[in-house]
Chain A
């Protein structure tokens, strides 16, 4: 799919990357025994409606054998708007769960032992606020922050590049990322403060090589942000994690994961002088490719997802979300989610695939393709480094400010679209094998308008009960701290969420100091 020219067959001349899994540069996997010791975490992303609705879905996922939670927030929450904001009209509780105040986060995880599960929160611009809410809710339920395990996505760079859920300009946003890195390093030893995400870059249209290079570049930019914030690399690098796409080009994806581990290990060792093994080992979550799914003959999506999930497993992923067949039509139904989870369980327990670490290591083709992905990514990384004059942080921020990443990704998306339209790239049910497309679509989940009014009512109740003068005071402190770049914002955020200041109020206070980011429209 990346247009890498493939030979009809590969022979022994091609290099092999590393002898064994668990050995530098970890091409074959971060750990020696891989899934024989510990299977990947089956982490299904969920969230819709009110916190109470999503809490029920979480409990079902845990009851069906899922072993980690992954929280999807609605667009108003992701964009730092309250449910009663006029701009939130029609969006409340639709693409995820609506969160306005600490009370919603308490509802969201009620009855779930937060010391016993790991929780992932997919949130970026307001990530520090949601982290403060999670910590506060957990401590109210008796679980100390030092015992909390999980992941905050908190990857703002790919938002400017791809998913576009940004609020503040890049530099103050990166200061907030550095603040969370420092807070988690000091106080949350089991927490992953940033999940450097290629997933959205790929979904927006990037090729596998672009996904690989841009994601690693962002990772290096966060390393530099942490270093600039006064941390030592081996203090926080072990807690950085990654999140990649699993697209349908099977071997290319496997090569991508292998190349990612090699490049990360090499750069961390040689450029950033990391010494701890865990700083060098790239660990990642995988999600199958939403964009590979088709509205036509949606049942076929189960097959696509299976192949993609297998690529993630053969590539050595540490956790996996499998998409549901109907996600191209709507939020998934419970049945579709169950089939997607069962897909992982079949791979894990029936195929015997997990019994051998990196079973494709030494394959002439996979090794050659790993080398080719590595070469292509290194070329792009060199361009970004050059743009930043030897700073990956400046290279990435400059590339965002000039719209370079955005244009590269949109170009790749259009090139693929043209191949589909010309029929040079075949897609079952789309431009080939369309018999059966007329069948009625499966029943989908329908979210009515009542969620919005419920949530707005809930927010009004909280606002009526809280101490308004306290809220004013904590927001004043937050503005003051935001104006001082040397101050960590987390203490003020913890204080703000405890007072039941809303996500929207906190974001507005910060925006008064930081400003708001707007992207120049470009086709």
Chain B
């Protein structure tokens, strides 16, 4: 079986990258091939990277509150590119927004209390 590939990205202007780096390392240690885009990605650059790298899942790290403006654009971009790649969001997402993100096609939303186990389970389930 080919190695499963996950793209993790930091979307928007926020630079707090502790979470995204820890998650990237957790997934790498769990056997995934992890592609980290670096900071300040736009929905367009994330979609392009997901297409180029032919990934099995996309993980988006959000803290700043811009998730409602940016995350749906990633999902739409992937679908427009003909991909059904699952999108998982991690970070600080108010309860009110979790439901709308899910309805907009986001596979899972992980809060600041998510454990390593929960993160890996969510990725497994999404793929």
Please list the residues of chain A having a beta carbon within 8 angstroms of any beta carbon in chain B. 75-76, 78-79, 81, 87-91, 94-95, 159, 163-166, 203-205, 291, 294-296, 328-331, 410, 413-414, 417, 421, 429-431, 437, 441, 444, 446-447, 449, 518-523
Instruction: Determine the residue in chain B with the shortest Cβ distance to A520.
Output: B38
- Complex alpha-carbon distance, A131 and B59, angstroms: 38
Q: Judge whether B21 and A410 touch: CB under 8 Å.
A: yes
Number of contacting residues on B, CB 8 A?
Answer: 36
Interchain Cβ contacts under 8 Å between A and B, 24 examples: A75-B12, A75-B13, A75-B66, A78-B13, A89-B69, A90-B68, A91-B69, A94-B66, A95-B65, A159-B15, A205-B18, A294-B113, A295-B112, A296-B113, A413-B22, A417-B22, A417-B25, A430-B113, A437-B113, A446-B96, A449-B68, A521-B38, A523-B25, A523-B36
Q: Which B residues between 20 and 55 are near A, CB-CB below 8 angstroms?
A: 21-22, 24-26, 28, 34, 36-39, 42
Q: Judge whether A414 and B15 touch: CB under 8 Å.
A: no
Which one, B13, B26, B39, B94, contacts A87 given CB within 8 A? B13
Q: Judge whether A81 and B13 touch: CB under 8 Å.
A: yes
Question: Does B126 count as interface, using CB distance less than 8 angstroms?
Answer: no
Instruction: Determine the residue in chain B with the shortest Cβ distance to A521.
Output: B38
- Complex alpha-carbon distance, A291 and B69, angstroms: 26
Which one, B34, B39, B67, contacts A523 given CB within 8 A? B34
Q: Which residues of A contact B95 (CB under 8 A)?
A: 441, 444
Which one, B65, B69, B112, contacts A328 given CB within 8 A? B112
Which one, B26, B37, B64, B111, contacts A95 given CB within 8 A? B64
Q: Judge whether A446 and B94 touch: CB under 8 Å.
A: yes
- Complex alpha-carbon distance, A444 and B36, angstroms: 31
Q: Judge whether A79 and B36 touch: CB under 8 Å.
A: no
Given A329-B92, A421-B116; A87-B42 close (CB under 8 Å): yes
CB distance from A294 to the nearest CB of B (A): 6
Q: Judge whether A90 and B15 touch: CB under 8 Å.
A: no
Q: Which residues of B contact A76 (CB under 8 A)?
A: 13
Q: Which residues of B contact A417 (CB under 8 A)?
A: 22, 25-26, 116
Given A94-B64, A446-B94; A75-B14 close (CB under 8 Å): yes
Q: Which residues of B contact A330 (CB under 8 A)?
A: 65, 92, 94
Q: Which B residues between 42 and 90 are near A, CB-CB below 8 angstroms?
A: 42, 64-70
- Complex alpha-carbon distance, A410 and B24, angstroms: 11
Q: Which residues of A contact B94 (CB under 8 A)?
A: 329-330, 444, 446
Which one, B21, B36, B66, contacts A413 given CB within 8 A? B21
Q: Judge whether B39 and A519 touch: CB under 8 Å.
A: yes
CB distance from B83 to the nearest CB of A (A): 22
Which one, A79, A164, A295, A414, contacts B17 given CB within 8 A? A164
Question: Does B100 count as interface, using CB distance less than 8 angstroms?
Answer: no
Question: Does B115 count as interface, using CB distance less than 8 angstroms?
Answer: yes
Q: Which residues of A contact B4 (CB under 8 A)?
A: none
Q: Judge whether B15 and A421 touch: CB under 8 Å.
A: no
- Complex alpha-carbon distance, A347 and B62, angstroms: 35
- Complex alpha-carbon distance, A164 and B12, angstroms: 12
Q: Judge whether B15 and A164 touch: CB under 8 Å.
A: yes
Q: Judge whether A414 and B65 touch: CB under 8 Å.
A: no
Instruction: Determine the residue in chain B with the shortest Cβ distance to A294.
Output: B113
Number of residue pairs spanning A and B whose beta carbons lie under 8 angstroms apart: 111
- Complex alpha-carbon distance, A291 and B112, angstroms: 10
Q: Which residues of A contact B70 (CB under 8 A)?
A: 89-90
Q: Judge whether A523 and B68 touch: CB under 8 Å.
A: no
Instruction: Determine the residue in chain A with the shortest Cβ distance to B42.
Output: A87
Q: Which residues of B contact A410 (CB under 8 A)?
A: 18, 21
- Complex alpha-carbon distance, A244 and B18, angstroms: 18
CB distance from A445 to the nearest CB of B (A): 9
Q: Which residues of B contact A437 (CB under 8 A)?
A: 113
Which one, A164, A296, A447, A522, contacts B65 given CB within 8 A? A447
- Complex alpha-carbon distance, A133 and B115, angstroms: 44
Q: Which residues of A contact B66 (CB under 8 A)?
A: 75, 89-91, 94
- Complex alpha-carbon distance, A449 and B96, angstroms: 13
**Which 3 A/B pairs are nearest by Cβ-Cβ distance?**
A90-B69, A164-B15, A521-B38
Q: Which residues of B contact A95 (CB under 8 A)?
A: 14, 64-65
Q: Which residues of A contact B25 (CB under 8 A)?
A: 414, 417, 523
Q: Judge whether A521 and B13 touch: CB under 8 Å.
A: no
Instruction: Determine the residue in chain A with the shortest Cβ distance to B96.
Output: A446
Which one, B16, B26, B69, B115, contacts A431 given CB within 8 A? B115
Instruction: Determine the residue in chain A with the shortest Cβ distance to B112.
Output: A295
Which one, B12, B111, B117, contacts A295 given CB within 8 A? B111
- Complex alpha-carbon distance, A225 and B99, angstroms: 50
- Complex alpha-carbon distance, A521 and B24, angstroms: 12
Instruction: Determine the residue in chain B with the shortest Cβ distance to A159.
Output: B15
Instruction: Determine the residue in chain B with the shortest Cβ distance to A298.
Output: B113
Q: Judge whether A90 and B67 touch: CB under 8 Å.
A: yes
Instruction: Determine the residue in chain A with the shortest Cβ distance to B39.
Output: A164
Q: Judge whether B13 and A295 touch: CB under 8 Å.
A: no
Extra inter-chain contacts (8) besides given A89-B70, A90-B66, A520-B38, CB under 8 Å: A75-B64, A95-B65, A164-B17, A328-B112, A331-B65, A413-B21, A414-B22, A523-B24
Q: Judge whether A519 and B38 touch: CB under 8 Å.
A: yes
- Complex alpha-carbon distance, A479 and B19, angstroms: 38
Of A87, A159, A294, chain B has the most CB atoms within 10 Å of the CB of A87
Given A328-B92, A523-B34; A163-B15 close (CB under 8 Å): yes
Q: Which residues of A contact B24 (CB under 8 A)?
A: 523
- Complex alpha-carbon distance, A523 and B9, angstroms: 11
Instruction: Determine the residue in chain B with the shortest Cβ distance to A165.
Output: B15
Q: Judge whether A79 and B22 touch: CB under 8 Å.
A: no
Q: Which residues of A contact B12 (CB under 8 A)?
A: 75, 90-91
Of B15, B26, B67, chain A has the most CB atoms within 10 Å of the CB of B15
Q: Which residues of B contact A164 (CB under 8 A)?
A: 15-17, 39
CB distance from A169 to the nearest CB of B (A): 15
Q: Which residues of B contact A205 (CB under 8 A)?
A: 18, 22
Q: Which residues of B contact A521 (CB under 8 A)?
A: 36-39
- Complex alpha-carbon distance, A522 and B34, angstroms: 11
